Structure 1
Amino acid sequence: MPTSLPIPIEFRLPEGWLPAARQEEAVAADVAFAAVHPRPDAGFAANITLDGEVASDEAPLEALADRAVQHLRSVADSVVVADRREVGSEDAPGVVQKLTFSATVGGMCRALVQSQVLLAMADVRDPHRRAVIRAVLTSTEGQFPEVVPEFQEFLGSIRPGGASS
């Protein structure tokens, strides 16, 4: 069963990207939202997923990023953290990490790349409540350079939702 995000957010999909149907393979049970690229590469559709959790102030984003890597290692092979860096500001910190791995998708072993972005956000309805939203782009190695700018566009559109969201 799909999960929901811990706080309301608003975002805009890049042109051409399509919301994924819940029965599609790209949508895991712990994902609140998923979208797929309209042009698969070698039978694999690049996808963007969103999930999140309420986080205590003591939980550093790096620890949450480590946990995301461990989760991927439980379902994929040869997971490598190719890059990790802190982004954002003191008020809106984030961590970006690029992971490479192998996974069996549709009966085929594929070399895949993920860009994971963890963004800390205050709930607009309760500023003392901190949530971490995780946006993930997964694609083949070959398609990654093409879809990264679209993922960056998507990231730039993420905003906390209003009280009526």
Structure 2
Amino acid sequence: MSTNVLQDGRYRIRSVSTSQPNPGVGGMFATANGPAQDLTAVAAVPEYFENQTWAIEKYKDVDFYTIKWVEKDTTSEEEGFSYDKWDQDAPITLGAPGDFTLEQVPGTDAVYIIRPVEAKPVVGVDVCVGTGEGNKIVIKHVILAGPSSTETTPAWGFYRLD
């Protein structure tokens, strides 16, 4: 897969999948719900706009990123996509920004698979960020069963705002 670098900046981040990276109009976007609360994927409607802006920052010397919450045009240094563990369906919360890798989905301009850096590799399993029950943003374990697999990997569309 391609590993094009996503430019630092402010984005809305839309839940999609590798099998349907551009599902059309609408969609569900990563949304902050308050400090230490689970992030959710919610429609982009005016009442949620201020909780759906994220600053993407790449480390200078390594291909790791942080995803920080932007509150009232100010990037938070203390709050962003955070995780404590990488078990199946473990929540992504609004907390100390964790480190992630972003892998561009082939054939797309700005669709990426988000993976927690600290997740230990498991043969035949892709550990990444997706959505779960109640549209919570969670860690997902996707079985990589070969070309006949019906599993699809969660991905995220990045829509630049600045």
Answer whether TM exceeds 0.5 for this pair. no
Greater radius of gyration (CA) = 1
Superposition TM-score, scaled by structure 2 size = 0.27
Would you tell me which structure has more helix in proportion to its own residues?
A: 1
Superposition TM-score, scaled by structure 1 size = 0.27
